Structure 1
Amino acid sequence: MTTVSLLSIAETERESGIHRDTLRVWERRYGFPAPLRNERGERAYTDGQLNRLRLLKQLLDCGMRPAKIIHLDENTLRQLANQLNETTPVPALVDSLLEALIVGPRRSLEQQLEELLQKNGLRNFLIEVVAPMNHAVGDAWFSGRIGVLDEHYYSEVVIRLLNAELSRMSKNSGYPRVLLTTLPGEQHGIGLLMAACMLCLEGAETFSLGVQTPLDEIVRGAVESQCNIVGLSCSEYMNRRTISSQLVRLRKLLPAKTSIWAGGSGVSKIQYLPTNIQLFAELHQIPSAIEAVKNKVI
């Protein structure tokens, strides 16, 4: 007898990037996803539903409306997603790394990344290798080309490499002082490490709280550490409306003198935020932003 793997609503939210409240609304309004129920009567989702939800999330982030696509089957959704991906060519180097992740052996990917770090230096490694590779891995995960195992393995390799680089950097006090974390619900931490590396390269001092820090604790950490900036990493897995609302709330809670910097693919299409919230579409914007902050002090 075959055992069907089922996911809770919390797991489905995490793996699809779609908030659980949205899942419930879609269930009532569109009839999808129509979850099963476990022995406790709680919603339970199949792998097939998760695959469709991932594709829906990818298409919604490109501007499509749920009512237009939610009833399409997985193959049709995948075709639409592939058409969108074809408009954004993947650099040959990234394509080679992605192939190593998919086909293996896994050690080959790790060796290639280590060699690229040594060859290019940390700054160029972050901008020219890790940043585009993150996008490619995310697209491959959403489209079903890779699984959770592959995505987690890639993340762990990059995290190990970046942590090693950070440990070798000077721990002397710098300016500005930046508190780094993610918003509640954001579990991906690679962006935090990338930002920490770039900031340290520019002479900033960083304090990392890890992922998913409650807003009131972010405020407490920023105040107690006398930070000039709160830096937030927002991935494409998190709903942009949720990101926007939490940024607005955090802005109200923080002292006026403390800036908010938010970066990552999750903020790429966000507009109309309060003043003193600066959005970063790309890593290479960090050096000029740090320079501007330092010039204000002079």
Structure 2
Amino acid sequence: MSPPDNTNQLMLNITAVERDTRIGKDALRVWEKRYGFPTPKRDINGERLYPPDQVEKLRVIKRLLDAGHRPGRIVSLTLEDLHRLGEELRESDVAKPAAANVAPEQQNEIQDIITLLKSHDPAQIRRRFSQTIMRTGLSQFVLKVAIPLMHEIGEAWASGELHIFEEHLCSEMLETSLRTAMASAPEANQHSRPRVLLSTFPGESHSLGLLMAEAIFQVEGCACMSLGAQTPLHDLVNAARAHRADIIAISFSAASNPGHATDGLTELRTMLPANIELWAGSPHPVLHRRGVPGVQLLADLEHIPVQLQRWRAQDPIRPDILSD
């Protein structure tokens, strides 16, 4: 452990590193002890401080973990070796499942956007997003452009081709464009069904996937209420009562812990009346293999229209048991 050093104002504390890299505090402490990395300094109060170069390496490690690598094999590698692994993933067909169903013209669109991203011109990126949404429609934009685009960008910075600020820029521009398109779309009327409440669990701060899910629900004619990220379970139940929700949709990112997701979904299911369905979008294969009783698990956003068709086929005329 390095001695205290407060001269570098760019260093991040452990909470900021967890938020930035999506690696939990417990994992950071275990890796430090087990693998000798990271090697944080300490402030005058003994709190961990992480230099920028270590934070950058942690970001790349997280991307490789999401792709299936094990911590014991990669945490102690150099940044150059990690970037080399990222490049191998980028060249692998297995590493790019999101691009499998992307048409050539849409793949060209994605590459053009990445080129624009490297020019660091936010206005041009927003304009390109808006034009593509108008041309393809909101739902197809989400499924065929936005999702594979973010996958491509993630693999690009894992291999060192893009910087993390460029990924953040793209996420911000994408979120702005989606919100603008959704605001201009016709609003669902008070009789639209199903009524969908959207959020993430506490600790899940990544809301772009939630916004993309809301866009598809909106296109499908649902009445949506999004609470944004990190809503406590009791507040979800109260919001369901206020919104007269038919469905609660919870979004999980690749950074989430499958075990925690299972526990949270199980607890929330017991708190809800039987007439409210609980849906969860998660990229974790282990969650789908095990299942969660009473929860509809969606591996990707393309499953939303299919599940809505099932829900509507039941033509539910359900008693409003949440009303006073």
Preserved contact between residue 55 and residue 78 of structure 1 (Cα < 8 Å): yes
Matched residue, 1:201? 219
Matches within 5 A, 1:1-298: 3=8, 5-88=10-93, 91-168=107-184, 169-173=186-190, 174-265=192-283, 267-270=284-287, 271-297=289-315
Partner SS for 1:283: coil
Structural RMSD (CA): 2.2
Higher alpha-carbon Rg = 2
From the superposition, tell whether residues 137 and 255 of structure 1 become closer, same or farther in structure 2 (CA, over 3 Å): farther
1:111-145 superposed Cα distances (whole Å, 9 cap, x missing partner) = 21111111111121111111111222333344444
Moved more, 255-264 or 208-217: 255-264
1:223-267 superposed Cα distances (whole Å, 9 cap, x missing partner) = 3322121111222233334333333332333333322212254x3
Q: Distance in 1 between matches of 2:246 and 2:237?
A: 12
Q: Distance in 2 between matches of 1:50 and 1:12?
A: 7
Preserved contact between residue 126 and residue 177 of structure 2 (Cα < 8 Å): no
From the superposition, tell whether residues 235 and 281 of structure 1 become closer, same or farther in structure 2 (CA, over 3 Å): same
Name which structure has the greater RCO, CA cutoff 8 Å, separation 6+.
1
Q: Distance in 1 between matches of 2:175 and 2:66?
A: 26
Q: Distance in 2 between matches of 1:98 and 1:244?
A: 35
- How many equivalent pairs are there? 296
Q: Distance in 2 between matches of 1:243 and 1:141?
A: 27
Q: Distance in 1 between matches of 2:160 and 2:270?
A: 39
Once the two structures are TM-superposed, the CA of residue 148 in structure 1 deviates from its matched residue by 4.3
TM-score by length of 1: 0.90
Preserved contact between residue 4 and residue 46 of structure 1 (Cα < 8 Å): no
Where does the alignment leave 5 or more consecutive residues of structure 2 unmatched? 1-6, 100-106, 317-324
From the superposition, tell whether residues 48 and 129 of structure 1 become closer, same or farther in structure 2 (CA, over 3 Å): same
TM-score by length of 2: 0.83
From the superposition, tell whether residues 86 and 123 of structure 1 become closer, same or farther in structure 2 (CA, over 3 Å): same
Q: Distance in 1 between matches of 2:157 and 2:238?
A: 36
**Residue type of the partner of 2:88?**
Q
Partner SS for 1:170: coil
Where does the alignment leave 5 or more consecutive residues of structure 1 unmatched? none
Q: Distance in 2 between matches of 1:264 and 1:146?
A: 26
Preserved contact between residue 51 and residue 144 of structure 1 (Cα < 8 Å): no
Tell me the percent identity: 34
List 4+ stretches of structure 1 deviating above 6 A: none
